[in-house]
Structure 1
């Protein structure tokens, strides 16, 4: 009889686990389906990044450019960073053909993997409800929708780091070092996407493992050491492989002055960002010009808080990642209280792991982002996982406290009230767009708060009130974030391929313009297809390529001029100067040798506003030699009357013929 009862109990437990697993799968599939719609809605209109999309195009037509991450098809110069984030885009373009949707498609898939991994992690921290709320808040954040529906580097980085945290959670659950080693490998893969930014999660992974694992201290320290070794090996593997190839057989490494990829990655994109010229071989900063950054949003951040965590509460940032900050704060506060009082043993260890990881990520990743100027809003994606995780924990604990705990019953109505006020505060920055939201949000939030508070004191007498109060509270808290999420379905509010920003912009952001590149658009997002300069450059190239069989039909002193030609499928374009216009690729002496050897005949010199920065002595020497030794090609020879009329008032590029 005892054996029979034990068998029946085992079967019941197995059935219960299977039923719970099926519910998890069902919920996750629903969330992923909605996420796929959000992320893929604007694929056809996602657009291009002049700089990165050009490299993706080159990598899709040349395996050499693919390996090195070259900007041009003939692999004369690389990007000014590692190009791992472009590998999925280049492969997609090679398979489906180069288009805006084919290079945006990989980011959609990366977003789905990220949400699925986050759901798994959140389910360990706060159960099915917390997983659903956390995954939905992460997937529907305007920043995440914009980022995962465009081709940008932060998407792949976010996927790898989220998977690394999932592996960390498995290491905590299983007490097996292999999972922690896997987390280190995944961080190393994230390094290929966005270099040292991936390493910002390492302190959280290592400290969190030592904190949460039950293994002996010496064993934990050994495991962490192997994790760090795995991260470093994987991070440096690609750079090492490229360095082993002789310089004559590979492109020049942009971002360096010594043609060294380590100088580019660890100096120009790393240490030198914080300590000027700390790595001698890295390309130094422009001594005469310090731009505010590529994103228009940078100029709207007040200087007094630009380097503090308070900037995350500004409307231009909070509308992207922080609609549920009050719920996340409640999760942190209640979670700490519950862990300290040892309530709910069924959630104790997993809840502690979630609080530990979220807190450590906010300290390590959030601390660095707080201190630095953010050139792109996409950087904020790095803090979305801990914010979403705390949101899921907050929703779970608030509901549990309301149902079971007398001491904390009022936490839920207080949180709903604070959430309502927070949404109303953010709406004040959007008087035109959000005018219709203020009244319903205030009404629903207030009624929900009052009803929940009233029911908290009289739960037995007015049971029906709980359902009405819950509906009002959810509608009031979620109405504004939902409107912002749905607004991203409109291409005008979906962001660009160069910066993730979903929903309407605050007035200070919308008014911000980088005047220096006015002829080419804002920052990298030049939208050159509407500029007459693109047609002029295409006509100049067509003229040059029919008059020479040299290795390069034309050389240009600006990547902005080279980009539209390469995107059109031209391979005989020599870009000079790299992204900053200051890379010695080629030097003035090397360029003269190319002309003398008959490898370059035509040179397209851009107006000054097409260059990045204002200090580039090598390029000045090269263009000075060109203007002194080559002849200007009359625009009448390659421009039609209609095109000249359309470009009236525009300062276009000048074509030179260096044929001796």
Structure 2
């Protein structure tokens, strides 16, 4: 592939004049977009909202530990600030309070109830889908963005945690925002500092949601920016330092206040051994999460975790490799390759930590993988689709779809009493789609799109 073949988003249309009032422009979207783009995006957000709100009350007050802190924050501003478990401010939860703040504000505005606690989590899920779509479509087109958004919305662990009140919903949203900002910084020389500062702020508040997990993807993002961003090396390093300073300030203001606040007039820091948030961060929420047993790369595919996150994990890894192969000869600052490196690096480092961490680990942590995985599926599928006239590209598409269908068949086989016909439908549809994709570059485009749609449906059906 030449470095210019991905210069414009896939499926971009010629510019047309914008007509109508504000509502018409919201529905129509950008003048250069095809007519279907904005309605499809709004439809994705609407369907995601409905699916996540559907029977939301089934969870009741969800995690009562965090719901108690939300109730306290709705009654006392001091409890709100510290994340106290009770309005009397005896002890805090074992996390910083940022994830509690949206729910506590909702309770203050609308009263205490299950919906008042959980609807903000749903909105975070819809927001994450929207940000992911925006990040992917900027470089790979609306089709790729829609695929990424659908994959994220339907990933089981995402559909669970964006309907629950643990800190992971806000963490996933802020990490996706941070990646989006870094990708924007990689696009330009002028204005890059502003985007890196915004990324730093997102990382800082992600730390205030779930401490050190927010920093897992910092190494690959910083490395990709230093190597692949436009401008001289000194300017790149300076901008990165500015983003780091923004991260330190946006995370450190709350930590400093808590550590400097007289212990006698604030709640005890829950989960800590000596009433110190720093000890909590590096102890119970730091090394305490790493030490232990039951580790290995197979963890993500086992009986308890596989059905939550791994449906499209093999596909994401295959498409990451394919995307890097296709863009390998591009210039240093090529934004398509940078996107694969950013999303792929984030996936791999988080996957490695989750696979080998041997301390406290819960299946729902894997929601952090969902945006990275979804982005790679959307981007990789778009790149290979553009290259489908080449045998290796069409073969990679076929292997991805066929392998995904087989893995879906395997996962569905672990619950044979639930819709037993579905696993066979997934396997057959995936096999047919894989065979058709081998010839996608030699048939009519509409037929090829139909085959690709069948493959996508097979991958998502489970």
Cα distance in 2 between the residues matched to 1:68 and 1:408: 53
Equivalent position SS for 2:196: helix
Which of 382, 385, 388 pairs up with 1:399? 385
Alpha-carbon distance change, 455 to 206 in structure 1, aligned in 2, over 3 angstroms? closer
Cα distance in 2 between the residues matched to 1:455 and 1:472: 8
Alpha-carbon distance change, 368 to 416 in structure 1, aligned in 2, over 3 angstroms? closer
- How far 1:455 moved relative to its partner? 6.5
Contact 2:295 2:355 in 1 (8 A): yes
- The equivalent of 1:212 in structure 2 is 228
1:267 aligns to 2:267 (yes or no): no
Cα distance in 2 between the residues matched to 1:309 and 1:328: 15
Superposition RMSD in Å: 2.6
TM-score by length of 1: 0.62
Alpha-carbon distance change, 401 to 64 in structure 1, aligned in 2, over 3 angstroms? same
- The equivalent of 1:230 in structure 2 is 246
- The equivalent of 1:32 in structure 2 is 45
Equivalent position SS for 1:79: coil
Q: Write the deviation string for residues 122-151 of structure 1: whole angstroms up to 9, x where unpaired.
A: 113422111111111011111111111111
- The equivalent of 1:390 in structure 2 is 376
Cα distance in 2 between the residues matched to 1:334 and 1:273: 33
Contact 1:419 1:477 in 2 (8 A): no
- The equivalent of 2:346 in structure 1 is 361
Cα distance in 2 between the residues matched to 1:21 and 1:353: 26
- The equivalent of 2:323 in structure 1 is 335
- How far 1:207 moved relative to its partner? 1.1
1:68 aligns to 2:82 (yes or no): yes
Alpha-carbon distance change, 81 to 417 in structure 1, aligned in 2, over 3 angstroms? closer
Cα distance in 1 between the residues matched to 2:121 and 2:277: 26
Task: Kindly report which structure 2 residues correspond to 1:13-32, keeping only aligned pairs within 5 A, or say none.
Answer: 15=17, 18-20=31-33, 23-32=36-45
Task: Kindly report which structure 2 residues correspond to 1:458-497, keeping only aligned pairs within 5 A, or say none.
Answer: 459=442, 463=443, 471=450, 474-475=453-454, 477-479=456-458, 481-482=460-461, 484=462
- The equivalent of 1:298 in structure 2 is none
Alpha-carbon distance change, 336 to 256 in structure 1, aligned in 2, over 3 angstroms? closer
How many residue pairs align between the two structures? Answer: 434
Larger radius of gyration: 1
Q: Write the deviation string for residues 479-532 of structure 1: whole angstroms up to 9, x where unpaired.
A: 4633x4xxxxxxxxxxxxxxxxxxxxxxxxxxxxxxxxxxxxxxxxxxxxxxxx
TM-score by length of 2: 0.86
Q: Write the deviation string for residues 572-594 of structure 1: whole angstroms up to 9, x where unpaired.
A: xxxxxxxxxxxxxxxxxxxxxxx
Task: Kindly report which structure 2 residues correspond to 1:108-507, keeping only aligned pairs within 5 A, or say none.
Answer: 108-175=122-189, 176-274=192-290, 306-342=294-330, 349-373=334-358, 375-402=361-388, 404-453=389-438, 459=442, 463=443, 471=450, 474-475=453-454, 477-479=456-458, 481-482=460-461, 484=462
Please list every run of 5 or more consecutive structure 2 residues that lacks an aligned counterpart in the other structure: 1-13, 19-29
- The equivalent of 1:492 in structure 2 is none
Alpha-carbon distance change, 481 to 317 in structure 1, aligned in 2, over 3 angstroms? farther
Contact 2:148 2:378 in 1 (8 A): yes
Contact 1:43 1:149 in 2 (8 A): yes
Alpha-carbon distance change, 274 to 391 in structure 1, aligned in 2, over 3 angstroms? closer
- The equivalent of 1:625 in structure 2 is none
